[in-house]
Amino acid sequence: MKTIGISIFALLVAAAACPAQQWEFGGTAGAGFLNTVNVTTPLAAATAGFQTGYGFGAFFGQNLYRHFSGELHYAYLESDLKLAASGTTATFSGGSHVVHYDFIWHTNRPSRAQFFVAVGGGMKIFDATGAEQAYQPLSQFGYFTKTRSIQGMGDFGAGVRYALSPHLFVRTEFRDYITAFPTAVLTPAPGAKYGSVLHDLVPMVGISYQP
């Protein structure tokens, strides 16, 4: 909760610094779908990753040019950790926070519907929150650790923003948050090798307001 509060405060400060008539703020909600990575050992193989979970967030943007703008985003994504092999699955409660800034290219703003693409970067904070146990299934492949891992993140996205009124907008978008796999929260067992790249595919629907 402390991380959420700090992130939201940062967004509010950024919004206050934006000139009048040039800023926009809103909220989004959706779900995250994450890939798994291969886990290999000398004797067997498994997959490691995160379960699908809900997400929600907030953003502030500056609309300074006809086709270009910038947005600062925060989102919380609920996603439990998992290991799977030979029909057995082990899970561990978890979630993540993402904070990123995007450069936005969009079609002409006076149009009621605008298509946009986004590219940016920031950080993703993985929190493993489950209770550690002396015995864990599939421990020959890895260990769930109640800790936090901060990873640099790239993100790409695209969507459509539609004007409901001169000041109110609805948007649908699709994001890909890309990080290294957080081995601090799901630690490889001795002799196990993990894949390195994690994609979090997040479709979202949001609403925003522009004075």
Q: Which single residue is written with the structure tokens 């929260």? A: 185
Measured in residues, the chain has a length of: 211
Buried b (16+ CB within 10 A) or exposed e, 197-208: ebebebebebeb
pTM of the predicted structure, to 2 decimals: 0.87
Amino acid code (one letter) for 143: Y
Yes or no: say if 64 and 73 are a contact pair by the CB < 8 Å rule: no
Give whole-number Cα distances, 65 to 73, 110, 146, 165, 205, in Å: 19, 12, 45, 21, 24
Question: What's the pLDDT tens digit per position in 116-159?
Answer: 999 999 999 999 999 888 888 999 999 999 999 999 999 999 99
CATH fold group of domain 2-209: Porin (2.40.160)
Q: What is the mean pLDDT for each group of 10 consecutive residues in the chain (211 residues)?
A: 48 47 89 96 95 97 87 97 94 97 88 93 97 89 96 97 94 97 96 96 96 85
Q: Which two structure tokens, joined as six digits, stand for 51? A: 């379960």
Break the chain into its structural domains and give their ranges. Answer: 2-209
Residues 6 or more apart in contact with residue 105 via CB below 8 angstroms: 67, 68, 116, 117
